[in-house]
Amino acid sequence: MTKPTSLLVTGGAGFIGANFVLYWLENHPLDNVVVLDALTYAGNRQSLVSVESKPNFTFVQGDICNTALVERLLTEHEINTIVHFAAESHVDRSITGPDTFIETNIIGTYSLLKAAKKCWIDQPRAQGQVPLEHRFHHVSTDEVYGTLAPTDPAFTENTPYAPNSPYSASKAASDHLVRAYHHTYGLEVTTSNCSNNYGPYHFPEKLIPLIITNILNDKPLPIYGDGMQIRDWLYVEDHARGIELVLNKGEVGENYNIGGHNEWANIDIVKLICAKMDQAFRDNSELIKKYPNADKAQQGKSVELITHVTDRAGHDRRYAIDATKTVQALAYKPQESFETGIDKTINWYLENAEWWQPLL
Ligand SMILES: NC(=O)c1ccc[n+]([C@@H]2O[C@H](COP(=O)([O-])OP(=O)(O)OC[C@H]3O[C@@H](n4cnc5c(N)ncnc54)[C@H](O)[C@@H]3O)[C@@H](O)[C@H]2O)c1
């Protein structure tokens, strides 16, 4: 089995990618990590500032669609593991402007696969020389499985794909290309499909950071439709741990669901965050000085900021991940409960305004 020693992390300046890079370098301090990231609106080098000066860390600003660049990085850095996070990731943006989703998520994944095949499989080698082992790990989403009714069983790896948004359709297409490169060319691939992540370095257009930062600015908390859409939430570091297990112990050619068995309706998450923010202001008088605009939180009434808005077109009602295969085959176990994870996340945003304020 390939031991990851030199990793190309695409999208490593994004939310999950950055958390993965920080986790990896903390736990595998001798490995070489190269980040390839186009720094779109969602990419932020500030998220990687604590590892920038490490000699075994390299940041390259570039597009995954640039196959020649990817080939050069694979060769120059003797990459034996690609962990592919780079994507356009926001469903709302995929509805108003699907083009970049098709380009990055489908063509970009194809470009990486082509480069990996060329450098890892097609390179001429001396007679009798055994090719080195490699791994192309593709990071995907539970949204490829479509939507669930309230009583449906959770998605397993055998649930048929039924993507409903341009985002999830583009991710589904990329999953199929990854699978095809394994079956057709023998590329050593794994894919993980994960539920909704939350945690530090999350761009404040996504639900949890949006709610926290809007409360701090006393802005309305927009809730799509009735707010009863259900998502299955996982702390981002538990996603990084899941990918680590797939890289170290996963079977080539397999898909692994990663999730924490933690379903919440959007409206309930928002109410929980309101209550926790009000409590934070009661517990810490310094917050009033730091966030003087947060009137409702200071009064213990953040919940009054909730505003129902027109539902998203084609909004999936429920996602839920059954991670039994990953739990049984790889001994996967999330370390954070939702209670501990959401507290860590709120505290991170309260303490790191210099990271998120420039993004608003
Ligand atoms: N956020 C979630 O809850 C979630 C859940 C399951 C799976 N995923 C998947 O995980 C991956 C990472 O998601 P995220 O939430 O961190 O996304 P993100 O939007 O926060 O980050 C995406 C990163 O990719 C970079 N990027 C975009 N286009 C690029 C291109 N053409 N070339 C190089 N870099 C490019 C961006 O600059 C950014 O740094 C995605 O593939 C997503 O589908 C996300």
Mean pLDDT by 10 residues, the chain (360 residues): 88 98 98 98 98 98 98 97 98 97 98 98 81 92 98 98 98 98 98 98 97 98 97 98 98 97 97 98 97 98 97 96 98 97 98 98
Q: Where are the domains of the chain?
A: 6-198+234-261+321-336
DSSP letter for each residue of 188-254: -EEEEEE-EEESTT--TTSHHHHHHHHHHTT--EEEETTS--EEEEEEHHHHHHHHHHHHHHPPTT-
Distance of alpha carbon 12 from alpha carbon 170, whole angstroms? 20
In this predicted structure, what is the pLDDT of residue 125?
Answer: 78
Asked about 188 being catalytic, the answer comes back as no
In this predicted structure, what is the pLDDT of residue 128?
Answer: 78
For residue 99, count CB atoms less than 10 angstroms from its CB and return exposed for 0-12, middle for 13-18, buried for 19 or more. Answer: exposed
**The tokens of 347 are what?**
């505290």
Q: Is the CB of residue 197 below 6 angstroms from any atom belonging to ligand 1?
A: yes
Asked about 167 being catalytic, the answer comes back as yes
Q: Is the CB of residue 15 below 6 angstroms from any atom belonging to ligand 1?
A: yes
Q: Is the CB of residue 17 below 6 angstroms from any atom belonging to ligand 1?
A: yes
Question: Residues 6 or more apart from 324 whose CB is under 8 A from it?
Answer: 156
**The tokens of 336 are what?**
């954070």
- The CA angle 193-49-86, to the nearest 5 degrees, is 30
pTM: 0.98
Which of 34, 178, 12, 20 has its CA nearest to residue 105? 178
In this predicted structure, what is the pLDDT of residue 123?
Answer: 86
Q: Which atom of ligand 1 is nearest to the CA of 234?
A: 3
Q: Which atom of ligand 1 is nearest to the CA of 108?
A: 31
Asked about 142 being catalytic, the answer comes back as yes
Q: Is the CB of residue 141 below 6 angstroms from any atom belonging to ligand 1?
A: yes
Q: Which atom of ligand 1 is nearest to the CA of 196?
A: 3
Tell me which of 23, 110, 145, 167 is the catalytic residue.
Answer: 167
In this structure, whether the domain defined by 6-198+234-261+321-336 belongs to CATH 3.40.50.720 is answered with yes
Tell me which of 37, 63, 88, 142 is the catalytic residue.
Answer: 142
Mutate which of 22, 35, 40, 170 to test ligand 1's pocket (most atoms within 8 Å of Cβ)? 40
In this predicted structure, what is the pLDDT of residue 152?
Answer: 98
Q: How many CB atoms lie within 10 A of CB 274?
A: 23
- Give the distance (Å) from ligand 1 centre to CA of residue 10: 9
User: What does the chain come to in residues?
Assistant: 360
Mutate which of 9, 10, 16 to test ligand 1's pocket (most atoms within 8 Å of Cβ)? 16
- Give the distance (Å) from ligand 1 centre to CA of residue 115: 20
Q: Is the CB of residue 13 below 6 angstroms from any atom belonging to ligand 1?
A: yes
CB 211 within 8 A of CB 275: no
In this predicted structure, what is the pLDDT of residue 1?
Answer: 61
Q: Which atom of ligand 1 is nearest to the CA of 19?
A: 16
Closest residue CA from atom 22 of ligand 1: 14
Distance of alpha carbon 259 from alpha carbon 270, whole angstroms? 20
In this predicted structure, what is the pLDDT of residue 277?
Answer: 98
